[in-house]
């Protein structure tokens, strides 16, 4: 009897709603915000920022790990998401949307408002995020159990959980107890800088797949040089991934670095979710036993397609194009 391959990818992280606006560099300067990265704010702060723009926002489901898991579901993968939402209109819409995208939700409900991320997108397609975590912060570490990660090939642990050490450790230990590989995306350079006291030990002791962009890799390793950065990133993990934007990406595995080209085409409209969707394609490929090259090709297609729209939710025709690569 042939044993069925386990391919499920389970993500745990913030259940958030993305609110997106196009604005100028000066708009960010007026807010006192450095371009890129993520700043934690209160719900009222998001309202105050929106009051300063003349543009109509785009509102879609979001959250880094959730974006990745939704991508896996849309690729036809076995996908599950663990999170906590508010008992409100935003939260209900969030859960309905991920179910529609073939994701199994393990989502608890809070009386607090559903979390939100306001992304200000500048003309260079970069996004600067203002995050109100809301109900997502109430995910109780004591209620994270290995059964939540049952029959999971890869557990995608959202880097933003590093702001909550107890929850991060509960998630990692539960996933490991269930026999899953652990993937960690470093999320933002602010996250790396704020979690130095625990990050290195977590990567050394638990992480199998480490994913970072150039800014995050520099913050973690201290090096801008990509060869030096990925060399340090790969010391304790099975796969180290360095995303290089339009220059593609490189993956270190078994002391070999594989370079993956970015998919060429139109200029980006919005980079929101680009890294999350890249991870969806790559992890989907690795979970299904594809080569690094093929996994990277799917990842690059996912990253390219999401840059052609506002937000991180791809339309059906984009998924049709991507699936032709599988």
Instruction: Flag whether pLDDT at 37 surpasses 80.
Output: no
Domain assignment present for 120: no
pLDDT at 71 (0 to 100): 97
Domain assignment present for 3: no
Range of the domain at 268: 9-15+63-113+138-323
- Of residues 214, 80, 88, the one with CA closest to residue 150: 80
pLDDT at 32 (0 to 100): 87
**What's the pTM value of the predicted model, to 2 decimals?**
0.89
At 263-320, the pLDDT tens digits run 988 888 888 789 999 999 999 999 999 999 999 999 999 999 999 987 788 999 999 9
Domain assignment present for 127: no
pLDDT at 3 (0 to 100): 62
Sorting pLDDT into bands at 50, 70 and 90, what band is 2? low
Domain assignment present for 178: yes
- Mean pLDDT, to the nearest integer, of 139-146? 96
Report how far apart, in Å, the C-alpha atoms of 39 and of each of 91, 138, 160, 304 are.
Answer: 22, 19, 11, 25
- Mean pLDDT, to the nearest integer, of 237-255? 95
Residue 223 corresponds to which tokens in the numbers above?
């090096």
The total domain count for the chain is 1
Which domain CATH number covers 144? 3.40.1190.20
Q: Which of 54-68, 70-84, 177-191, 210-224 has the lowest mean pLDDT?
A: 54-68
């Amino acid at each position: 009897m042939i044993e069925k391959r386990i391919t499920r990818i389970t993500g745990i992280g913030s259940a958030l709603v993305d609110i997106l606006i196009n604005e100028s560099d000066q708009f960010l300067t007026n807010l006192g915000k450095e371009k890129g990265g993520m700043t934690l704010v209160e719900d009222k702060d998001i309202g105050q920022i929106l009051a300063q723009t003349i543009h109509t926002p785009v509102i879609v489901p979001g959250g880094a790990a959730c974006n990745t898991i939704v991508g896996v579901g849309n690729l036809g993968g076995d996908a599950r998401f663990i999170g906590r939402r508010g008992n409100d209109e935003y939260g209900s819409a969030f859960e309905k949307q991920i179910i529609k995208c073939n994701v199994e939700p393990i989502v608890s409900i809070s009386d607090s408002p559903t979390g939100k991320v306001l992304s200000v997108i500048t003309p260079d397609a970069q996004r600067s995020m203002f995050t109100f975590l809301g109900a997502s912060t109430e995910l109780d570490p004591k209620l994270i159990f290995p059964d939540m990660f049952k029959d999971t090939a890869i557990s995608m642990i959202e880097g933003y959980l590093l702001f909550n050490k107890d929850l991060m450790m509960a998630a990692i230990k539960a996933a490991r107890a269930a026999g899953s590989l652990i993937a960690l995306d470093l999320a933002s350079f602010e996250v790396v800088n704020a979690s130095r006291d625990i990050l290195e030990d977590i990567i050394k002791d638990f992480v199998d797949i480490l994913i970072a962009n150039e800014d995050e890799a520099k913050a973690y390793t201290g090096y801008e040089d990509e060869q030096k950065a990925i060399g340090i990133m790969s010391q304790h993990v099975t796969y180290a991934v360095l995303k290089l934007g339009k220059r593609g990406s490189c993956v270190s595995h078994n002391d070999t670095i594989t370079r993956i080209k970015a998919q060429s085409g139109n200029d980006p409209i919005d980079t929101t979710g680009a890294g999350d969707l890249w991870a969806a394609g790559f992890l989907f490929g690795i979970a299904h036993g594809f080569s690094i090259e093929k996994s990277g090709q799917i990842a690059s297609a996912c990253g390219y397609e999401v840059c052609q729209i506002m937000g991180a939710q791809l339309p059906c025709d984009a998924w049709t194009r991507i699936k032709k690569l599988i």
